[in-house]
Amino acid sequence: MSCLLQLRGIEKRFGSFAALRGVSLELRAGEIHALMGENGAGKSTLIKVITGVHQATGGSMEMAGRAHRPRRPQQAESAGISTVYQEVNLLPNLSIAENIMMGRQPMWGPFIRPVEGRRRARAALARLGLEVDVARPLGACAVALQQMAAIARALDQEARVLILDEPTSSLDAREVAELFAVLRRLRDQGMGILFVSHFLDQVYALSDRITVLRDGGGVGTWDVAELPRLDLVGHMIGKPVAARAAESARNEFRGRAAAGFFQVEQLERRGVAGPFAFGVEAGGATGLAGLLGSGRSELARMLFGIDPATSGKVRVDGREVALHSPRAAMAAGLAFCSEDRKVEGIVPSLSVRENIILALQASRGPLRRLPECEQAALAEKFIQALNIKTRGPETPMGTLSGGNQQKCLLARWMAVQPRLLILDEPTRGIDIGAKGEIEALCAELRRAGLAILFISGELDEVVRNCNQVVVLRDRRQAAVLEGGAISLQRIMETVAAA
């Protein structure tokens, strides 16, 4: 097989910090190559060097035998390298077609040819097996479709190298399967695909070879068949996998949800999701399992009063509570970590300390300000306890990595000492090490009597952590599984049942 993109000893320094120190990688034509590593290992930086967002400070690159030194993303694109970034960076008010064709619109003199643009956009989406109205504004589409549009945009560029940074984090199982079928077809046509993902299953299902980065250096490249999963994880974190704190918590727990302090009765938001009925026991973990779009997040948003229920009741300690706003939900002892960290979680230019105390201060009201020293003590305590990597409590939140931002948000909600913590995809887009830490943390919180409502697209995570699972299908409750009845098999069967 011919080598398409060759990287030799790539180095990248930001000031005195070396983000990449001598990474070599070889992407062949007609292969899917997985790039693995923990958060901060240098995956994103490496991709940005290849695509011309950053310039390497050392080493050399060759694209199809010619030196590759992009100074701008456009230069990498014209060299045949297309990229789909993790966060969908498209324009929500423009149509799907306009987003796909942006910057490369077919022109007639100074005029855009909209009909031709829509035709080409449809063609690009058709290669993904999608048939949609390309004149619709992108913002009105599901996140999954937006992601597909980003990939279609890359496909339209006649690229020879396609780079996908976490392309599946917002897709459901069926969409992932469709995407993979497309990627395999592209591979068979001779395209070289560089694929970044935190989902081990997907990496093993899709890729031909794996390159592992750790702390900015290349650990090595292996054929998938020669690298068992445990070895891969070991290479990524540089040590054997940590103990399974989460699983032991699950086995310890003997509560009965039916008698729980938190009861949901026929809760429904008309036209959106429901009805739901289940109970949550102090110290218990309830998982919400189902495909993307099955109503998991909708239920969470109903409970936290963001999109309040239109009928049904919620009782806390037998007393009915009206969850009509986030503030009311907080007063009832609820806390909610949104799946959308960037839009609904972090306050980027405020400091880590201010982000951590924000919800606690809000629950005290504006007039009873937390004293400065208490704020500092709280921030210091959580930075230590959750092992948050930051230069200090006064560092702006926006400069932290995704996993550390997530930990700060957990700290924000732990600080208010809620009785029920709703976690919507708390481990999305963060690395295995941090995932394990967050799971262990949840287990610890439960031992202290906190109940957790846990939403995750990764079913084994749900199975591992929860003592009760509410299975959702088509925006309503399909079943409630408890204790020993919880297994991957049972959940899958319930989800798939007609």
Site residues (CB under 8 A) for other proteins?
A: 304, 306, 326-327, 330, 336, 338, 343-350, 354, 358-359, 361-370, 412
In the complex, least distance from residue 334 CB atom to other proteins, rounded to whole angstroms: 10
In the complex, least distance from residue 16 CB atom to other proteins, rounded to whole angstroms: 13
Q: How many helices (H) and strands (E) does the chain have?
A: 17, 22
In our burial notation (b when 16+ CB lie closer than 10 A, e otherwise), range 381-419 reads ebbeebebebeebeebbeebbbbbbbbbbbbbbbbbebb
The Cβ of residue 110 has, within 10 Å, a number of other Cβ atoms equal to 5
The Cβ of residue 271 has, within 10 Å, a number of other Cβ atoms equal to 8
| Residue whose CB is less far from other proteins, 62 or 344 | 344
- The DSSP bridge partners found for residue 212 are 36, 220
| Residue whose CB is less far from other proteins, 273 or 330 | 330
| Residue whose CB is less far from other proteins, 283 or 393 | 393
| Residue whose CB is less far from other proteins, 348 or 449 | 348
In the complex, least distance from residue 299 CB atom to other proteins, rounded to whole angstroms: 16
In the complex, least distance from residue 326 CB atom to other proteins, rounded to whole angstroms: 5
| Residue whose CB is less far from other proteins, 330 or 442 | 330
| Chain centroid, CA 93 distance in Å | 23
In the complex, least distance from residue 263 CB atom to other proteins, rounded to whole angstroms: 23
Per-position DSSP letters for 220-280, written without gaps between them: EEEEGGG--HHHHHHHHHSSPPPP-HHHHHHHH----GGG-SEEEEEEEETTTEEEEEEEE
| Residue whose CB is less far from other proteins, 247 or 344 | 344
Residue 19's closest CA among 326, 401, 381, 308?
401
What are the start-end ranges of the E strands in 349-464? Answer: 420-424, 451-455
| Residue whose CB is less far from other proteins, 120 or 412 | 412
Is residue 405 within 8 Å of 346, Cβ to Cβ? Answer: yes
Is the backbone peptide bond immediately before 426 cis, with ω within 30 degrees of 0? no
Is residue 392 within 8 Å of 384, Cβ to Cβ? Answer: no
In the complex, least distance from residue 494 CB atom to other proteins, rounded to whole angstroms: 30
The backbone torsions φ and ψ at residue 47, rounded to the nearest 5 degrees and listed phi first, read -65, -40
Q: Which two tokens stand for residue 133?
A: 């109205």
Is residue 428 within 8 Å of 143, Cβ to Cβ? Answer: no
Q: Which two tokens stand for residue 408?
A: 């700060």
| Residue whose CB is less far from other proteins, 256 or 327 | 327
In the complex, least distance from residue 399 CB atom to other proteins, rounded to whole angstroms: 12
| Residue whose CB is less far from other proteins, 198 or 407 | 407
Q: Which two tokens stand for residue 193?
A: 């695909």
Q: Which residues make Cβ contacts (< 8 Å) with residue 134, sequence separation at least 6?
A: 95, 96, 97, 100, 118, 121, 122, 125
In the complex, least distance from residue 48 CB atom to other proteins, rounded to whole angstroms: 17
Sign of CA dihedral 435, 440, 441, 445: positive
End-to-end CA distance of the chain: 45
| Residue whose CB is less far from other proteins, 195 or 336 | 336
In the complex, least distance from residue 323 CB atom to other proteins, rounded to whole angstroms: 13
In the complex, least distance from residue 297 CB atom to other proteins, rounded to whole angstroms: 13
In the complex, least distance from residue 349 CB atom to other proteins, rounded to whole angstroms: 5
| Residue whose CB is less far from other proteins, 138 or 357 | 357
Q: Which two tokens stand for residue 346?
A: 């972090």
